[in-house]
Amino acid sequence: MLTCVSEPILPLSKYVTSSLDSPKRLSSWDWINQHAVTHKGDPFDGASFPYLKGIADAWDDPRVRRIAFRACSRVGKTEINLALHACAQHHDPDTGMIVTPTERLLQKTIKDRLWPSLELNSEIRSSLPPKHLRAATKCRTSTFITHGAWSGSPVTLGDLDPKYLHLLEVSKFSRDDSDEADTVELTLQRGSEIVDRKVFMESTPTLVGTCAISRYVEAGTNRHYFVPCPHCGDFSPLEVNQTNDRRAGGLWWEKDKDGRTTPARAYRTATYVCPHCTNNWGDEHRLAQIRKGVWVAPGEVIDRTGTVTGTPHNDGPDESFNLNRLYAPTFTFGDVAKEYVTKIGTEHAQDLFNGWLGLPYAPIRRQLEWEDLAKRLCVGGWNRGTVPEQCFALTVAIDVQIDHFVCVTLGFCPNKVGYLIDFGRVTDWQGVKEWTVQVYDCEDGGTVSPMLTLIDAKDGNRKDEIVDACRDMNNDRGPFVWPSMGQNPKSFNGSFFQRVNVDSQNHVVKKGSRQIDGLQLVKVGTAISQDWLNNCLFNRKPGERNSIIFPAWAAESRSLHEQLLNECWDAKTGLWTQSDRTTPVDFRDAVRYARVGIETYVGGDWAMNATRRRTPAPTKRKPVHEGVGATVKRITEASRPAGSSFIRKPRYVVNNQ
């Protein structure tokens, strides 16, 4: 018979019993500092990046579902993202996903950064496959699998449910033209049903109003990193003083009485001014004070002991953090001051705000009100629908929307100045046709009609409809109505346009296929046309060479001028981006396309083909009935072969009725 023994025969010491317990799991921060290695082979240096500990602690918090980190470059945001992923897969292996803006960046991230760092990690190395079996866009080991995906690719984003979701540079995510949903939101839906799922998204910011990482950071706890003053002990976040008042605190450098300085002087005299006691402290204190820092959210309060009390205004499952380059271990206060003085107020200001200050950038078009732009541009004295005498040709651009068409007519003089003749909306193709054949009065007598109309066919769902409509309205001997499409700026080499023939199937003509006489597709040089328009809006005076000038009657159109201001170049993504998603850019696109139209009309050769329109010679008229005037008919020459200039010099014939 078995007897149950409740007490051990020999009592065990507490040291022996403690050794029999399962080992305690390291926190993510401790694990990363002990085992994580960068792709360059250097051990993770937590002492140089102390502010990252708060992010790692948030990752370990079971209440936190999503982390957003908005930061400048060179502060370790990608390193902590990948290190946390490796730590999570070691502690609790499961399906993971890494998402980047482009396929190229994904390959660089997984092939050149993730695989090498795992190879050097003593805890994970044994689970890795041989090097020749390591994919460039996926990380499969004996214990876990991490998929790779990139924005704008629904194939790579679909049908996966990752427990660990890591998004790199989310503000640079593009949008697939075939999908109207936001790519970041589509990505965040992956694995959302998993109760203990973790999401980490990070990015440098981009533009105010369109910056994805800013949207998620500001919806979360929105923490900033507070450090103590070495003199008074009060805590405050490290910031650049953007005023002329030293007492406001922050990074400061010597300036003259007008607030001006030089990059060299800023670098030499940079110091940090405590906003509480106004004492200076420098780089010799910086790293030591940063190591004493604490993350503080709006709604929380920190005292001199570093104790944080209160509740974040956006308390919930989403933690978010902000950081600028004043915290970066490899830069000095002088470096930041010099960069600020060098770039503020220049075309490189966005790089300063995004890459150094960790802030979204509000470009000049956000600072200029539509009324100010209208006052600047609308200085012409001609009536609506009247063509100034210096114009030698008119072009029309049509931007296609779901339920209407936006139309713009511009006239151009040999000095490459665009004159707004008319603009508006029509609701159907009949209205478009009437706009393309509209007859306009000239200031110097006679009438004239547009010789080239470009209709935007970039909407893939309506491309065939648009090309068919162009074919129906087009005259193979002119006037011409052609489809147009914006193209990758890299393929244009600074040109406004490229022309290609179209076949009966609405395809670009290939070898052996038959083209449609007189119908061509115009590829629009996005980069140069956007640069031209931005220079017209902000840098060139109306009437100067390569400018635009609007008539005074257009000054009342708020929609026209707001749309002209609603797009700007984003140096980080390499794209032109809307600042306000609720305001369209239809008129802006139409003005650009009208300029591309005149470039196409003269074949790019202004010196040869941009000749001034001749005023009709006075003719002896026969008596006419009351109310019936002379009409002017434009007669054109036949078009020339594709690739050559096809300017047609109009002849005006006065028909007496």
Q: Would residue 415 be called left, alpha or beta, if left means φ above 0 and alpha means ψ between -120 and 50 degrees? A: alpha
Does the 28-219 domain belong in CATH 3.40.50.720?
A: no
Q: Is the pLDDT of residue 3 over 90?
A: no
Burial degree of 182 (CB within 10 A; 0-12, 13-18, 19+): middle
> pLDDT tens digit string along 356-392?
999 988 765 556 789 999 999 999 999 999 999 999 9
Q: What does the alpha-carbon distance between residue 430 and residue 444 come to, in Å, rounded to a whole number?
A: 30
Q: What does the alpha-carbon distance between residue 334 and residue 171 come to, in Å, rounded to a whole number?
A: 29
Q: What is the pLDDT of residue 427?
A: 93
Q: What is the pLDDT of residue 498?
A: 82
Q: What does the alpha-carbon distance between residue 241 and residue 228 come to, in Å, rounded to a whole number?
A: 17
Q: CA triplet 71, 74, 77: central angle to 5 degrees?
A: 50
Q: What is the pLDDT of residue 7?
A: 53
User: In which band, very low, low, confident or very high, does the pLDDT at 457 lie, cut at 50, 70 and 90?
Assistant: confident
Domain spans of the chain, in order of start: 28-219, 226-311+333-346, 370-635
Q: Is the pLDDT of residue 169 over 50?
A: yes
Query: What CATH class does 370-635 carry?
Result: alpha beta
Q: What is the pLDDT of residue 638?
A: 30
Query: Of 405, 407, 411, 365, whose CA–CA distance to 391 is shortest?
Result: 411
Q: Name, in order, each residue with C-beta under 8 angstroms of 451's C-beta and a sequence gap of 6 or more.
A: 393, 394, 395, 478, 479, 480, 601, 634, 636, 648, 650
Beta bridge partners of 567: 578
Q: What is the pLDDT of residue 366?
A: 52
Q: What is the pLDDT of residue 654?
A: 34
Q: What does the alpha-carbon distance between residue 204 and residue 217 come to, in Å, rounded to a whole number?
A: 12
Quote the percentage of the chain above a pLDDT of 70.
Answer: 81
Q: What does the alpha-carbon distance between residue 102 and residue 113 come to, in Å, rounded to a whole number?
A: 16
| Choice between 24 and 430, residue whose per-residue pLDDT is larger | 430
Query: Of 133, 135, 70, 141, whose CA–CA distance to 109 is shortest?
Result: 135
**In 541-620, at which residue ranges do the beta strands (DSSP E only) sit?**
548-551, 567-570, 575-578
User: In which band, very low, low, confident or very high, does the pLDDT at 508 lie, cut at 50, 70 and 90?
Assistant: low
| Cis preceding linkage at 479, omega within 30 | yes
Give mean pLDDT, residues 623-641. 31
Residue 346 has, within 13 A of its CA and on its CB side, a CA count of: 9
Residue 315 has, within 13 A of its CA and on its CB side, a CA count of: 6
| Choice between 337 and 245, residue whose per-residue pLDDT is larger | 337
User: In which band, very low, low, confident or very high, does the pLDDT at 572 lie, cut at 50, 70 and 90?
Assistant: low
| Residue in this structure with the two tokens 């795992």, named with its chain if needed | 118
Q: What is the pLDDT of residue 1?
A: 46
Here the tokens at position 194 are: 């998993």
End-to-end CA distance of the chain: 130
> pLDDT tens digit string along 274-283?
999 999 999 9
pTM of the predicted model as reported, rounded to 2 decimal places: 0.62
Q: Is the pLDDT of residue 160 over 50?
A: yes
Q: Is the pLDDT of residue 31 over 70?
A: yes
List the single range of 32-41, 59-68, 314-323, 643-652 with lowest mean pLDDT: 643-652
